[in-house]
Amino acid sequence: MIALVDMNCFFAQIEQQDYPYWRNKPVGVTNGKLGSTIITASYEARSYGVKTGMRLKEARELCPNIIQAPSRPYRYAAVSTEIMDALFSITPTVEVYSVDEAFLDLTACQSLYDSPQHIGFLIKDTISQVSGLTCSVGISGDKTTAKFAAKLNKPDGMTIIAPWEAEERLSKEDVTELSGINKGIARFLGKYGITKCGDMKKVPMSLIAKRFGNPGRRIWLMAQGRDPEPVITTIKEPKSVGHGKVMPPGTRDMNTILTFFQHMSEKVGARLRKHHFLSDTFFIGLKTPLGWLGTKQKIYNATDDGALIYDLCKQFIKSRYSGEECGQVQVTALNPTHHKQQDMFVDESYKQKREALNTAIDKINERYGEFTVAPTRVIGRSEMPNVIAPAWKPTGHRKTI
């Protein structure tokens, strides 16, 4: 027995809760005050046709009274953490799938509860008590069917699909209705006459496995309500720690580009230090109309210092940039580890001073807000709002914004 918890319009719902006069009104959350794209919208706004990813200008044409709410990532992450922590009171096996979704393995807990309905309502009540928010819950015998069930009765719904009914229930659904099957996979399946989940049994598992490997085997089983993937509770070490930002279209001004690079360098450095990582290899990139202009730079001594990372960015600009239009910057620490071999000839006194300085800055910024103390270029970068990392988790190194 597996449940999928899906918060309803999570960001917008938090905004309506924190600002009561926005309740029952159309709200569109954007990335900061200057954000031009809808991150998520309340159901009142969605009733006008407003969708995630839509430009704010287009949303206003559909819904002139839409309220623009600048996103508050730290608030959303804090509420999510409270919700995820509360779910452990129901079962010890919880997979935080995203900032607003979680899988619960209830198999070993069934004897503690009266019925699947009892568990579903307990989940909803638990979330309501800790956050005051509503959610939709899907319950079935596997992760994919549970996720499919959760979206059937939104908002504030609950759907139960018994494991022995899953295959028949999914059989008439488009394969793209299942999480993980995108348009590219659907095109491949379509070549063999597979458009509905029920069509999957027309071909052998080996056909899809030959094209997609183990994920293909899983897809074949998913369509029959037999997703074999368990609820995953372990968090793997990161393969990279990076930050990027979109710049004004057509940016050529060197000072602006360097400001963005320093901002990203300081964020990467702070995040490495927070989770006790070091890296000796960094990707530095600029996105131009012709694609990415980038480089991987390896240094002798692994670092978590934003100033040293920014030096790499300046070297990159000096050697590779020729005045092209730019729309985005990216700074990424590759293969971060907790320990790196240090050069015996490194200036220890300088290293110790920088570590002490960074420790003091991190403490101040953690207490008073990000970039309260920072290089002059970076202070007051409110027009560069934060976002929640796609791989956000409430514990460990992935709790990042």
Tens of pLDDT along 43-60? 999 999 999 989 999 999
Count of CB atoms within 10 A of residue 358's CB? Answer: 18
Class of domain 76-222: alpha beta
Residues designated as active site: 101
Residue 372's pLDDT is what?
Answer: 83
**For 360-398, b where at least 16 C-beta lie within 10 A, e where not — what string?**
ebeeebeeeebbebbeebbeebeebbbebbeebbbeebb
Count of CB atoms within 10 A of residue 176's CB? Answer: 15
Residue 36's pLDDT is what?
Answer: 81
Q: Is the pLDDT of residue 380 over 70?
A: no
The CA distance from 353 to 21, in Å, is 50
Residue 253's pLDDT is what?
Answer: 92
Cis bond before residue 155 (omega within 30° of 0): yes
Between residues 110 and 341, the one the model is more confident about: 110
Phi/psi for 283 (5° steps) reads -95, 130
Q: Is the pLDDT of residue 297 over 70?
A: yes
Q: Is the pLDDT of residue 117 over 90?
A: yes
The CA distance from 62 to 60, in Å, is 5
Residue 343's pLDDT is what?
Answer: 57
Residue 236's pLDDT is what?
Answer: 81
Residue 347's pLDDT is what?
Answer: 66
Closest CA to 291 of 326, 343, 256: 326
Instruction: Tell me the angle at which helices 306-320 and 254-274 cross, rounded to the nearest 10 degrees.
Output: 150
pLDDT average, residue stretch 378-398:
69
Please report which helix (H) or strand (E) contains residue 249, including its range. strand 240-251
Residue 400's pLDDT is what?
Answer: 66
pLDDT digits (tens, 9 = 90+) for 267-284: 999 999 988 999 999 999
Q: Which of 1-5, 182-186, 233-237, 255-259 has the highest mean pLDDT?
A: 1-5
Residue 362's pLDDT is what?
Answer: 87
Task: Tell me the fold of 9-71.
Answer: MutS, DNA mismatch repair protein, domain I (3.40.1170)
Please enumerate in sequence order all residues whose Cβ is within 8 A of that of 174, keeping only pairs 6 or more positions apart, or say none: 186, 195, 196, 197
Residue 378's pLDDT is what?
Answer: 81
Domains 9-71 and 76-222 share a fold: no
- The CA-atom distances, in angstroms, between 100 and each of 125, 154, 178, 193, 400 are 16, 14, 18, 35, 15
Question: What are the sequence ranges of the domains in the chain?
Answer: 9-71, 76-222, 240-398
Backbone φ/ψ region at 156: left (φ over 0), alpha (ψ -120 to 50), beta: left
Q: What is the mean pLDDT of the chain?
A: 90
Q: Is the pLDDT of residue 95 over 90?
A: yes
Which superfamily, per CATH, for 240-398? DNA polymerase, Y-family, little finger domain (3.30.1490.100)
Q: Which amino acid is at 90?
A: I
Count of CB atoms within 10 A of residue 188's CB? Answer: 15
Residue pair 241/265 in contact (Cβ under 8 Å)? The answer is no
